A and B are shown apart, each in its own frame.
Chain A
Amino acid sequence: MSDSSAGDRLEVLYLRHGPEALRLAYLLTGEKELSEDLVQEAFVRVARRLLSLRNDDSFRWYLRRTVVNLANSHLRRRRVERAYMKKLVSSAAAGGVTNPDMVTRQAVRSAIAQLSARQRAVVVLRYYEGLTDQQIASVLGWPVGSVKSSLHRAAAALRGQLAGEE
């Protein structure tokens, strides 16, 4: 592959998969600047190895996996989960809504914010990306049982949050 065609391919891949990867990174970290950095880093890592991949789905899969792994590793190292939580909860509270539907949404937002990084990864992959248990296990490199446990814990957290709002 020549330099210029590789450059074109890079641009195409970045524009095609970058926005989705960025949304994923943002949902996982709750920080705009951090999610931009994470996506660039993930893209570098995947593109270095897989630029020649003909199959777009494979590229997307590896990019998604790398974003999730980088986000979790970063959260673990920096312990920024609490910051994420505070930010999301305060931005939710700032709405000051009374509509019952919005109250529920606020509770969901608080529940998402209070999940551990691992639980959030599973919830985002299931309910935002629409993956099956098996696919989530594959992205995260976890056993399917771990995925199910995390989903259950997340559901319990949401249930608790909704009970608190009532």
Chain B
Amino acid sequence: MADFDKLWAEGLRDLAAETPQLPQLSARARRRIRAGRALTVVAGVAVLAGICGGLVIGAQALSRVQPPAGTVHSATAYVLNTSSNTVTPIRTATSTALPPVKVGGTPCAIAVTPDGRTAYVASHGLAAGNAGTVTPIRTATNTALPPIRVGRGPCAIAITPDGRTAYVVNEFSGTVTPIRTATNAALPPIRVGRGPAAIAITPDGRTAYVVNSASTPSCADTVTPIQTATDTALPPVKVGNCPGAIAITPDGKTAYVTNNDSGTVTPIRTATNTTLPPIKVAPGRPGAPGRLFIAITPDGKTAYIVSQGTSQGDTVIPIQTATNIALRPIREGPTFPHTLLPVTIAPDGKTAYVITNPRGGNHPDTVTPIQTATNTALAPITAGKGSCAIAITPDGKTAYVTNSDSGTVTPIRTATSTALPPIRVGHAPCAIAITPNRSAR
């Protein structure tokens, strides 16, 4: 495999050699600096788009929650527009976008309370120095409540199954902020490890597991369990190198943590917080940009691992949770198309969906369904450009795919694997969560 780092560096050096000479600082620029006021020459406020990783954890946890009994209202999908600093609600019954709701800068992660009444949106902020915020949105009216200040760089959020507490992971502060949903008050932050990036809560709500991920060149290698009754961090559990994603089996007995640099998955017994031997799913690749993602089927029998960036291309590897044995990688043709993103599993567990890009470059991304019974890939469905995340309605009928480069969301009818016309939302949509069907009150 070619040394990509070297190729990029050489290519960029070649290009940089063509840079023009630095012109004199213009008299106008000098005047403007002296005057101390901005005249916009080139552009207005610049906010960049992000493709959030690890953010669907909360949404996945949520999709397992059963809707309460009663008169059922249709679900609403909430799409985070990373560059517009808004959230677009989509009525799933009609696949129509409602007016956007304003939130804090660079919204990055979302989780909805199990009763479906409130969506919590974590906004990362614009730089490492800024505090992040969490904006609660009342789903009945789609109105934003006052933002709650949390730590720096919040980009993962999970809510306890009883809906009482939202845990917000502050990537740059190395902390987790609990928010009491009854009062929307932030409690004192809980210190975890460096660069925490993902969180998952056990189905009994007793323990939240936070993955300390940091970044290259010095990766963390721990997971911090938090006792939710007391909001205290327990001793960190050592896993593999550069852990990234986490998923917990529906019975709550095992948490699976993916280790990006080791190319392994570490099972953690939640009863004792001890690890089992790591499961090899990919070659070790220290510092490689590719990552491992994970999702577990609702019956808890299989964990699907998406492995990016190996020399063989990207693959999807099923793990039998009963034996912790990795099965044969799932391929489509000679290999799996490149650029796989977090795997999402339909509520009935029959199909797993991954985002792929068989054609590369500027071509639209596709969604490839995988039949979990046979672990075979079906024909890819065309979505939009820069597809980023998938969420599936509680009835399993529609999958919504956010397309960050197109500024759209593509609904996919799961029964026929057909894409419906894209829904226009804001700039750089990425994270998405769908409310459970709500009972009327």
- Residues of chain A at the chain B interface (Cβ within 8 Å): 3, 7, 10-11, 14-15, 18-19, 22-23, 26-27, 32, 35-41, 43-45, 47-48, 51, 65, 68-70, 72-74, 76-77, 88, 104-105, 108-109, 111-112, 114, 116, 118, 121, 123-124, 126-128, 132-134, 137-162
Instruction: Give the secondary structure class of A's interface.
Output: helix
| B67 CB to nearest chain A CB (Å) | 29
Residues B12 and A138 in contact, CB atoms below 8 Å apart:
no
For B428, give the chain A residue with the smallest CB separation: A118
Residues A142 and B50 in contact, CB atoms below 8 Å apart:
yes
Given known pairs A143-B50, A152-B308, A153-B339, the reply for A128 and B16 (CB within 8 Å) is: yes
Given known pairs A73-B44, A132-B216, A153-B339, the reply for A141 and B125 (CB within 8 Å) is: yes
User: B27-35, B141-149, B262-270: which lies at the A interface?
Assistant: B27-35
Given known pairs A141-B125, A158-B4, the reply for A35 and B360 (CB within 8 Å) is: no
Residues A128 and B12 in contact, CB atoms below 8 Å apart:
yes
Residues B128 and A137 in contact, CB atoms below 8 Å apart:
yes
Using Cβ atoms and an 8 Å threshold, which residues of chain B touch A145? 51-55, 155, 197, 244, 291
Residues A32 and B106 in contact, CB atoms below 8 Å apart:
no
| Complex CA–CA separation, A56 to B386 (angstroms) | 37
Residues A146 and B215 in contact, CB atoms below 8 Å apart:
no
Give 10 nearest A-B pairs by CB, closest first: A145-B53, A69-B46, A160-B360, A151-B289, A73-B46, A108-B11, A133-B215, A156-B338, A146-B50, A127-B8
Given known pairs A116-B405, A143-B53, A145-B197, the reply for A36 and B20 (CB within 8 Å) is: yes
Using Cβ atoms and an 8 Å threshold, which residues of chain B touch A105? 10-11, 14
Interface: B438 (CB within 8 A): no
For A18, give the chain B residue with the smallest CB separation: B22
Residues B215 and A134 in contact, CB atoms below 8 Å apart:
yes
Residues B7 and A158 in contact, CB atoms below 8 Å apart:
yes
Instruction: Give the secondary structure class of B's interface.
Output: loop
User: 14 more A-B contacts (CB under 8 A) besides A143-B55, A145-B244?
Assistant: A32-B19, A41-B29, A41-B41, A73-B46, A77-B43, A118-B428, A133-B216, A137-B128, A138-B128, A140-B48, A144-B213, A145-B55, A156-B360, A158-B8
Residues B48 and A72 in contact, CB atoms below 8 Å apart:
yes
Using Cβ atoms and an 8 Å threshold, which residues of chain A touch B216? 132-133
| B219 CB to nearest chain A CB (Å) | 10
Could you show 28 A-B contacts with beta carbons less than 8 Å apart? Answer: A18-B25, A27-B16, A38-B42, A40-B26, A74-B42, A105-B14, A114-B361, A116-B405, A140-B48, A141-B47, A141-B50, A142-B50, A142-B124, A143-B153, A144-B155, A144-B171, A144-B197, A144-B213, A145-B291, A146-B52, A150-B51, A151-B289, A154-B289, A156-B309, A156-B360, A159-B313, A159-B360, A162-B2
Using Cβ atoms and an 8 Å threshold, which residues of chain A touch B49? 118
For A42, give the chain B residue with the smallest CB separation: B42
Using Cβ atoms and an 8 Å threshold, which residues of chain B touch A154? 8, 289
